[in-house]
């Protein structure tokens, strides 16, 4: 049985955009689409009428989303599920048998929605599969081709799952892939030369060449495996989140990683993924990897 692309809906414009993005992705990957809504049914008798109305609204929400997808993507298998649980456990459960989980994102500036609030951040930090956040207004025109994909990596922690997701996505879309590795001048050298003083050009050049060589070695097997993917490797100094957000302005998708290893207080997103999710103007994929 094929694992579906799963999209969570809540009736917002953002979840509508997420559904459209997920349908296009499911078609691209030749996978079924699963549309879900999480709703914990309560048993208080005094709320019976209200709960019945809410259940009916949720069912209409799911059927409406599925109907739109079937109209725009004839032949795409679409299923719906009303998940009887709170949003975080419901979506995490759905991620366990999904190829990808897609959620709407309002970005920075609201207190609700999947990916700014605690629900979305918890899901992105703990999901078993890649989580893609999609904002309303971030989709290309219907029928338009695919634009550039931007992948942010650390050459010292370049997980195979992260690279495979990015190269596979670029190959399926016939889209160019920009791979960005950022580095910072080691503190020991900054201290040796003095804060606020210019760094010796030859020393900076040596370090940058070493980073470039490391990136070249990491990408070598992936170039061989995906010879048709046009890639642009970049090694730049400075904060990773700033560099990725600059490139997100003209990208169709930004991809960042999230380590499987749990933090002392449980799984969490790194600062780069957190910043990109909040501020990127295009869809963002968070990919778990070792």
Taking a C-beta distance cutoff of 8 angstroms, is the pair 150, 180 a contact?
A: yes
Domain boundaries defined on the chain: 1-139, 144-290
Q: Which two tokens stand for residue 240?
A: 């990773």
**Token pair belonging to 125:** 């930090």
For 46-92, the pLDDT digits (tens) are 555 555 567 788 899 999 999 999 999 999 999 999 998 889 999 99
In Å, how far from its chain's centre is CA 84? 25
Structure confidence at residue 211 (pLDDT): 93
CB 104 within 8 A of CB 91: no
For residues 134 and 181, give the distance between their C-alpha atoms in angstroms, rounded to a whole number.
24
The fold of the 144-290 domain, in CATH, is: Rossmann fold (3.40.50)
Work out whether strand 131-134 and strand 284-289 pair parallel, antiparallel, or are unpaired: antiparallel
Measure the CA–CA gap between 39 and 56, rounded to whole angstroms: 11
- Give 210-239 pLDDT, tens digit per residue: 999 999 999 999 999 999 999 999 999 889
CA distance 227 to 186: 35
Q: What are phi and psi of 220, to 5 degrees?
A: -55, -50
User: Does residue 17 carry a pLDDT above 50?
Assistant: yes
Query: What pLDDT is attached to residue 109?
Result: 37
Pick the CATH number of 1-139 from 3.40.50.620, 3.40.50.150, 3.90.45.10, 3.20.20.370: 3.40.50.620
Query: What tens digit of pLDDT does each residue of 263-279 get?
Result: 545 557 899 999 999 89
């Amino acid at each position: 049985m094929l694992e579906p692309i799963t999209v969570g809906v809540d009736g917002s414009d953002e979840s509508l955009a997420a559904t459209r993005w997920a349908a296009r992705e499911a078609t691209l990957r030749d996978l079924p689409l699963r549309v879900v809504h999480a709703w914990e049914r309560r048993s208080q008798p005094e709320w019976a009428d209200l709960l019945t109305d809410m259940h009916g609204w949720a069912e209409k929400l799911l059927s409406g989303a599925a109907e739109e997808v079937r109209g725009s993507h004839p032949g795409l298998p679409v299923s719906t599920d009303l998940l009887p649980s709170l949003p975080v456990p419901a979506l995490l459960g759905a991620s366990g048998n999904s190829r990808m989980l897609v959620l709407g994102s309002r970005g920075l500036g609201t207190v609700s929605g999947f990916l700014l609030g605690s629900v979305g951040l918890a899901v992105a930090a703990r999901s078993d599969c890649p989580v893609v956040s999609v904002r309303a207004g971030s989709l290309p025109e219907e029928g338009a081709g695919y634009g550039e994909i931007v992948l942010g990596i650390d050459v010292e922690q370049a997980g195979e799952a992260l690279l495979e997701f990015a190269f596979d996505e670029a190959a399926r879309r016939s889209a160019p892939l920009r791979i960005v590795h950022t580095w910072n001048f080691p503190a020991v050298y900054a201290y040796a030369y003095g804060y606020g003083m210019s760094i010796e050009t030859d020393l900076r050049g040596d370090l940058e060449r070493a980073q470039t060589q490391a990136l070249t070695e990491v990408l070598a097997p992936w170039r061989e495996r995906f010879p048709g993917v046009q890639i642009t490797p970049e090694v730049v100094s400075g904060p990773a989140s700033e560099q990725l957000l600059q490139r997100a302005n003209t990208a169709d998708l930004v991809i960042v990683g999230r380590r499987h290893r749990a933090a002392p207080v449980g799984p969490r997103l790194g600062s780069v993924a957190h910043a990109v999710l909040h501020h990127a103007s295009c869809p963002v994929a968070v990919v778990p990897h070792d």
